[in-house]
Amino acid sequence: MTELLPLEMASNKYKDDFETVYGIISAHRNHVIQQVNGEAVLMAWEVGGFVFSKLKTSAWGSGVVRQLAEYIHTQNPSVRGWSYRSIYKMVQFYETYSFPTFTELIGKVKSQIVPVEMAQIPNQQIMPIQSAQIFSQTIVPIRLAQIPDVLLSTGWSNHQLILNYCKTDEQRLFYMLYAGRERLEYKELDRAIKTDAMSAILGGHDVQSQAMQTLYPQAPLLFKDRVSLDMLGLPLDYKEARLRKSIIVHMKDFILEMGKDFLFIDEEHRLVVGGKTFKVDLLFYHRLLQCMVAIELKTSEFQPRDLGQLEFYLEALDQEERRSCENPSIGILLCKEANMEVVRFALNRSMSPTMVAQYKEQLQVGGVIQRSLVEFCRFLDNGGKVVK
């Protein structure tokens, strides 16, 4: 008779086996989700292209689209998402991404990434759409434009969000790829757009030390130079302790804002050096970079002396706690304000992988930085890996 073990003991004994089974389940579930999302995008492309062609050639008037929506409802009243507005959104989807400016942008990005073959933006010829079939075996006698397969990076709901809020092709391309890489759901992508994640990610070069960019070449594309902490609900006047404790309470949202690869380790992490105790405000582990990340919080403007304190913490972490399989620790100064000229001077002499980031208590949408889009695509092409 098999001995029954307590759940915790059984989990420890068969942990590797359990993880294998769970990995199989997760892999197939993710595959199914990707397939469903892909089919939804293809459906929107085909329907949008068909209706677009009818409207463009004046074969249909605008009232016909409303009639089409009503017809679909009569055929299957339980089907949702087929109002005439939804159909027009599909028309916009097709028109926007079949327009030459978007396909030319992809071509320009690809041309600057060779000789490496892109993984996230492969050859556009991969998905030819020669005809569409609707509900039956009747073939629609129309040739649609080929769908740029970058559109399959994320789902239809996210595409609608991107179309609603992004004004340029560069923005649209970035958020498609970003949503695909981070596997962002609708609410997460909505927040990323509203907090201007594109600017925060593509503008990170000037706030990172040379040591950071040398040890971690992809760091500018992994860490934001500006984060929004509106989820904390901070009062008008608060101290660092209040800021830290609010982050702890809202840790899940904070990590989503910082990036999904962060794992929380400790708050006020104690470091003992020379018989004296020092405390790191927040200590994380970064899964992709395989290193500890120390975050120091400053509710005031950045001061050069703050960087010295952070570098001291990194040295202590590396000497006392870093494991042989881990990379050098990274330090992030998260400040309320920062003079960029002062930051640049301070970082020029920094010998440690450090950066200075600013936080805002409220959502603020800033200007879009386009110059590093190619670098972001190259990063994705390399599988999001860090090349040393």
Burial class (CB in 10 A: 0-12, 13-18, 19+), 69: middle
The pLDDT of residue 367: 45
| CA-only gyration radius of the chain, Å | 25
The pLDDT of residue 145: 78
The pLDDT of residue 126: 31
pTM: 0.64
Helix (H) or strand (E) holding 300: strand 291-301
The pLDDT of residue 264: 95
> How far apart are the C-alpha atoms of 185 and 158, rounded to whole Å?
7
Give Cα 127 to chain centroid, integer Å. 25
List of residues 6+ apart from 43 with CB closer than 8 A: 156
> Which CATH class for the 203-368 domain?
alpha beta
The pLDDT of residue 374: 72
The pLDDT of residue 388: 45
Task: Show the CA angle centred on residue 359, arms to residues 355 and 363, nearest 5°.
Answer: 140
> How far apart are the C-alpha atoms of 235 and 240, rounded to whole Å?
12
The pLDDT of residue 142: 52
Q: What crossing angle do the helices spanning 186-194 and 156-165 adopt, rounded to 10°? A: 20
Q: How far is CA 226 from CA 108, 214, 293, 324, in A?
A: 28, 21, 17, 32
Q: Is the peptide bond before 77 cis (omega within 30 degrees of 0)?
A: no
282: which strand partners? 267, 295
Question: Dihedral, CA atoms, 129, 130, 136, 137, nearest 10 degrees?
Answer: -140
Average pLDDT of adjacent 10-residue blocks, the chain of 388 residues: 51 71 77 77 92 89 89 85 90 93 84 43 34 38 74 93 92 90 88 85 77 88 86 89 95 88 94 95 94 96 93 96 95 93 90 92 55 69 57
The pLDDT of residue 250: 94
The pLDDT of residue 157: 93
Any idea where the domains of the chain sit in the sequence? 13-194, 203-368
61: which strand partners? none
The answer to whether the beta carbons of residues 387 and 218 sit under 8 Å apart is: yes
Q: What is the DSSP letter of 126?
A: G
